[in-house]
A and B are shown apart, each in its own frame.
Chain A
Amino acid sequence: MRIPTILTCLMTIAFLLAASCGGGGQEGGIIRIDGSSTVFPITEAVAEEFQKENPARVTIGVSGTGGGFKKFCSGETAITGASRPIKPTEIELCGGHGVDYIELPVAYDGIAVVVHPDNDWVDHLTVEELKVLWQPEAQTKVVRWSQVRQGWPDEEIHLFGPGVDSGTFDYFTKAIVGEEHASRGDFTSSEDDNVLVQGISTDGLALGFFGYAYYAENSGKLRLMPVDDGDEGNGAGPIAASPTTVADGTYQPLSRPIFIYVDKGAAERAEVQAFVDFYLRNATVLVEEVGYIALPKRAYDLVSERFTNRVTGSLFAGSGSKVGVTVEDLLGGT
């Protein structure tokens, strides 16, 4: 009789799988990572290289800095990537769940402001103009290029930017508009920077911003806009984002450190410890390969020390992003 055979086959498979179910897989040595789309390329590169030397079981989600923190603080992930420091509300959330975090800066990023390569009327943008474009008051009001600067075409402007769960969004709004999260809502928003690249590179009227690595990876399809912050002190005139200008601090205000946060409890697991050590050891090479700006060697040594000593708490005293800081200054003070 075929029925019993076939049915029992299916049942057996189902039950075998059920039997091998390891309680959600947490104990099975899976390193769960989530968080920022900006940091994702670095973590992905590290995971890939790590896997060549160790049988790793790594999963990486891209929920955005904010989304990543929510999962991290509920204990769902061991490591979370963040393109801005942890906020007071998130510190509270973690505290409420008994999660201790170790804050580890891993690279510098300059937020690239880009347009389509065929866009020939924009030569640079000032911080003021960006503010006019992105502040909440601009919602449905500032919708054409000509409204931003005299002489620009009277065409629709198609805006692209990270979504509200993105650390890049948080940092950009703080640096440009002056208040975190203060932004218009009528633009194409996505926590996945790849979507933004795709949108801008195929739309002649587009303008958007995201982490520098995504520009570096797609420089043939995008045109980078220099930004003028009006401050002669750190470089006169419009400065374009580049590894040099970010490293020497002239690309302001859109340079910032990016981080990974490690769950102190999870750091006790051998595989997590090995992963983070590997991360910090190879950061210089991989960060540059991906397109971000590596910290100076001394900074990475300090960060490694921070991890080895399991130093918890935030360097930013829980006040969130600070515009225009260097990691060595912060770490030196510890």
Chain B
Amino acid sequence: MAEPRSTAKGTAAEAVALISNAARARTNGPSAPLRERLIEVGLRGCGLLSIFTTASIILVLAIETFAFFREVTLAQFLFDTQWTPLFVDKHFGIWPLVSGTVLTTGIAILVALPFGLLAAIYLSEFAGQGVRRLLKPALEMLAGIPTIVYGYFALVFMTPILQAVIPGLAGFNSLSAGMIMGIMVIPMISSLAEDALYAVPNSVREGAYALGATRLSTIFRVVVPAAVSGIAASVILAVSRAIGETMIVAIAAGQQPRLTLDPRVPVETMTAYIVQVSMGDTPTGTLEYRSIFVVGATLFVMTFTMNFVSQRLTRRYRSAV
């Protein structure tokens, strides 16, 4: 036991060196005990699991998709306007399912965008801190409600109300499902757009006020344009979410693939088709089984692209501001 006073400086210097070495060390070196290295390998394995998951998704989808395209030509898939893969008069055009998805998603965004954007503007520009702390989580709770509950709402409440208002509205239709889906994705737009608006520096606003602009013109001519990439990112993310939504459309939108833009008739979305066929538990290796993976692959490509674009836009507005 050395005298603390006389070797304090020495000990301190050693300690500093040790800490900086430890802090700098990224992984255990070859001299680290075996147990440490094993644990590190184990943890790395956990990290690699996410890569494994992505790879598995791509593999599972790709294998069945390629098998599908050995029997069906790509031209049939892309250019036919009917989807009747299981019937005598077989058609493999993806467009009826895509149109069902696009129709419901379009209606959803038509509902969610105005509400979400106005809500975001309110929370960012007008609401006080207390109100904001209350309303923002409340809106986010909307996104936390299970989609089966929304599906129930669509079928049991929305459709009868709409049928009273719109004569000739079929029981299964894309309008009802789309509107409920819109309510579900409002938080995606409101939260992310609000983040984008909030991130616009106050100096920009103050500059506009100094030039004599009213609050409204500041918002619409200065703040919103400044946040436009963040807002766009939120909308794209909402679209991606709506495209991937399953239960609301499976319960309320119908199971009839048809190429149409009429919101009053039964349609079928890509996701509903996947659920419909897998409920019947088709065995591996049949065209039926493969068709759900092809549709799934199409869905995956669409949502992946949108998520990617959305991330890029988010990064851009975050770095710009």
Contacts and interface: CB of A to CB of B under 8 A. Distances in A.
Main secondary structure of the interface of B (DSSP, over half): loop
Given A71-B281, A199-B171, A203-B172, A186 B257 contact: yes
A158 B84 CA distance: 16
B159 A181 contact: no
Contacts of A181: 87-88
A139 B172 contact: no
Given A139-B89, A190-B255, A185 B84 contact: yes
Interface string B16-59: 00000000000000000000000000000000000000000000
B280 A165 contact: yes
Contacts of B172: 188, 198-199, 202-203
Interface string A170-188: 0000000000011111111
B248 to A, nearest CB: 15
B266 A74 contact: no
B110 to A, nearest CB: 24
A164 B286 CA distance: 13
A233 B266 CA distance: 40
B170 interface: yes
B258 to A, nearest CB: 6
Nearest to A200: B171
B170 A202 contact: yes
Contact of B86 (A70, A164, A206): A164
A224 to B, nearest CB: 19
Nearest to A93: B283
Identify whether the interface residues of A are mostly helix, strand, loop, or mixed. Answer: loop
A74 B283 contact: yes
B255 A70 contact: no
B163 interface: yes
B280 A63 contact: yes
A189 interface: yes
Nearest to A138: B89
A35 to B, nearest CB: 11
Contacts of A206: 170
B88 A188 contact: no
A61 interface: yes
Contacts of A140: 82
B89 A184 contact: yes
B11 interface: no
Given A186-B258, A189-B255, A205 B89 contact: no
State which size class the interface on B falls in: 20 to 34
A198 B84 contact: no
Nearest to B256: A188
Interface string B127-159: 000000000000000000000000000000001
Contact of A183 (B87, B254, B266): B87
B279 interface: yes
Interface in A185-219: 185-192, 195, 198-199, 201-206
Interface string B271-286: 0000010011111000
Contacts of A117: none
A191 B280 CA distance: 7
B168 interface: yes
Given A199-B266, A202-B172, A70 B82 contact: no
Contact of B283 (A61, A62, A70, A156): A70
Nearest to A70: B283
Contacts of A238: none
Nearest to A155: B168
Interface in A249-267: none
Give the one of B88, B91, B168, B256 with max A CB within 10 A.
B88
A198 B82 contact: no
Given A164-B86, A201-B171, A188 B280 contact: no
A226 interface: no
Contacts of B86: 163-164, 185
B265 interface: yes
Contacts of A163: 86, 276, 280
A110 interface: no
A67 B280 contact: yes
Contacts of A320: none
Contacts of B171: 198-199, 201-203
Contacts of A195: 255
A183 B254 CA distance: 20
> Residue among B84, B87, B89 with the most chain A CB within 10 A?
B87
B82 A185 contact: yes
5 contacts: A156-B265, A163-B276, A188-B172, A202-B170, A203-B172
Interface of A: 34, 61-64, 67, 70-71, 74, 136, 139-140, 156, 158, 163-165, 181-192, 195, 198-199, 201-206
- Top 7 nearest A-B pairs (CB, nearest first) are A202-B171, A185-B84, A185-B87, A188-B256, A203-B170, A164-B86, A136-B89
